[in-house]
């Protein structure tokens, strides 16, 4: 029997934080588990978009960078043997019978008794500037994603946006950059209230309400950026070393929309067991919806064990959905 012919208890589609924790928890239930991730690395959106940003709303951490969170989740998962398939996009799911699914990817075929989908919002792309010539600076000093903090050290950094990402990056870069300027098109920010209070008490220069008007630079990099008053004619221009635009991301479900799952807009509908409309397929994380759903990594960490426990109970009815507590287990170092 080849690796692709093996029938796994649980296959997790999506290797982000929730998928990694689901894999760990599946190991605690002694489930034969596989992760399929479309990116070349584990960590999903966290690894790709904000590896250096500090995350504050994960239980047990006063603050943790995205990179360190993924490192810890991966180490936790490795308490148990897992099969991980990277750079494979799932293109189709077929139910062959009870507790028997065929999963087709860009690289081959996989088989599983149950499936847990933890893909978040699917594939995503940043909302980009629509100013003339913006695209020619994307390889130099116009950034939509912050990957390496050190490149901003002792530099003048201009950030545009009013959500959590923009505010968090402004606060993170405050102690690294020479100067941080945050420009938003409204006087009020959409970020969490606590973060906004920290921002107002920081040394970050706040400029509102203004929108990007014109980029000024040579063939290699932006030298300065002009902003126009949202409801006026006043123009302000700032000299910059780096311009970071945080307008959010446009997500796409991709092939998921063709899998026969019940969707509410772009979210997979689940019940209290994290079960979809297809028996044997569960889902957890930011890509799902149910009454009262809150989209946080922390809540995804609670949904993952719920999905795993009910998946195990569906395969092995004699095993309870409510497991023993982790404090009764012992892991070797």
What is residue 146's predicted lDDT score, i.e. its pLDDT? Answer: 83
At residue 1, the 3 state secondary structure works out as coil
pLDDT of residue 3: 62
For residue 330, pLDDT over 60 is answered with no
Residue 197 exposure: Cα atoms within 13 Å on the Cβ side: 3
DSSP 15-72: -SHHHHHHHHHHHHTT--EEEE-SSSSTTHHHHHH-SSSEE--STT-S-EEHHHHHHH
Q: Are strands 288-289 and 267-269 parallel, antiparallel or unpaired?
A: parallel
Phi, psi of 234 (to 5 degrees): -70, 140
pLDDT surpassing 80 at residue 321: no
Average pLDDT (291-301) is: 95
CA 260 to chain centre: 24
Confidence of residue 325 (pLDDT cuts 50, 70, 90): low
pLDDT at 283 over 90: yes
Of 125, 119, 124, 123, the residue nearest 261 (C-alpha): 119
Question: According to the model, what pLDDT value does residue 4 have?
Answer: 63
Q: What is the mean pLDDT of residues 252-268?
A: 89
Mean pLDDT estimate for the chain = 91
How many C-beta neighbours within 10 Å does residue 94 have? 12
Residue 332 has pLDDT above 70, yes or no: no
Could you give the 3-state DSSP secondary structure of residue 187? coil
Residues 89-148: tens digit of each pLDDT: 999 999 999 999 999 999 999 999 999 999 987 666 688 999 988 999 998 999 988 878
DSSP letter for each residue of 138-181 = TTTTEESS---GGGGTTSEEEEE--SHHHHHHHHHHTTTSSEEE
Please provide the DSSP assignment of 237-261 as one string: EEE-SEEEE---EEEE-GGGGGS--
pTM of the model: 0.71
Cα–Cα distance for residue pair 24/12, rounded to 1 Å: 11
Structure-model confidence comparison of residues 139 and 252, the more confident one: 139
324 pLDDT higher than 80: no
- Residue 22 exposure: Cα atoms within 13 Å on the Cβ side: 40
Which pLDDT belongs to residue 236? 97
DSSP 129: P
Q: How far apart are CA 315 and CA 159, in angstroms?
A: 50
Mean pLDDT for the stretch of residues 299-317: 96
Mean pLDDT of 166-184: 95
**CA dist., res. 209 & res. 129, Å (int):** 17
What's the CA gap between 205 and 200, in Å, rounded? 9
Beta bridge partners, 180, equal 157
Measured between alpha carbons, how far is 113 from 290 in angstroms, rounded to an integer?
A: 24
Q: How confident is the model at residue 276 (pLDDT cuts 50, 70, 90)?
A: very high
């Amino acid at each position: 029997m080849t690796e692709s012919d093996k029938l796994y208890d649980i296959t997790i589609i999506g290797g982000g934080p929730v998928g990694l924790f689901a894999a760990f928890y599946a190991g605690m239930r002694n489930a034969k588990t596989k992760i399929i991730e479309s990116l070349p690395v584990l960590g999903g959106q966290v690894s790709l978009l904000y590896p250096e940003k500090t995350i504050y709303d994960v239980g047990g951490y006063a603050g943790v960078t995205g990179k360190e969170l993924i490192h810890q989740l991966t180490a936790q998962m490795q308490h148990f043997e897992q099969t991980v398939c990277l750079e494979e996009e799932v293109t189709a799911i077929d139910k062959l019978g009870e507790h028997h699914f065929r999963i087709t990817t860009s690289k081959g075929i996989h088989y599983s008794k149950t499936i847990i989908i933890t893909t978040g919002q699917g594939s995503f792309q940043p909302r980009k500037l629509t100013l003339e010539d913006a695209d020619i600076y994307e390889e130099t000093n116009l950034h939509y994603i912050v990957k390496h903090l050190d490149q901003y050290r002792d530099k003048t950094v201009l950030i545009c946006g009013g959500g959590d990402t923009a505010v968090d990056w402004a606060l993170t870069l405050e102690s690294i950059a020479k100067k941080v300027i945050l420009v938003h098109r409204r006087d009020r920010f959409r970020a969490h209230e606590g973060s906004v209070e920290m921002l107002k008490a920081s040394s970050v220069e706040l400029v509102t309400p203004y929108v990007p008007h014109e980029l000024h630079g040579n063939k290699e990099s932006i030298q300065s950026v002009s902003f126009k008053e949202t409801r006026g004619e006043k123009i302000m221009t700032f000299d910059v070393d780096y311009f970071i635009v945080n307008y959010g991301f446009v997500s796409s479900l991709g092939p998921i929309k063709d899998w026969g799952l019940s969707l509410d807009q772009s979210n997979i509908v689940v019940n209290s067991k994290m079960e979809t409309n297809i028996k044997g397929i569960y889902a957890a994380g930011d890509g799902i919806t149910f009454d009262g759903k809150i989209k946080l990594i922390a809540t995804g960490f609670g949904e993952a064990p719920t999905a795993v426990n009910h998946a195990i109970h569906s395969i092995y009815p004699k095993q309870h959905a409510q497991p023993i507590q982790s404090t009764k287990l012992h892991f070797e170092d």
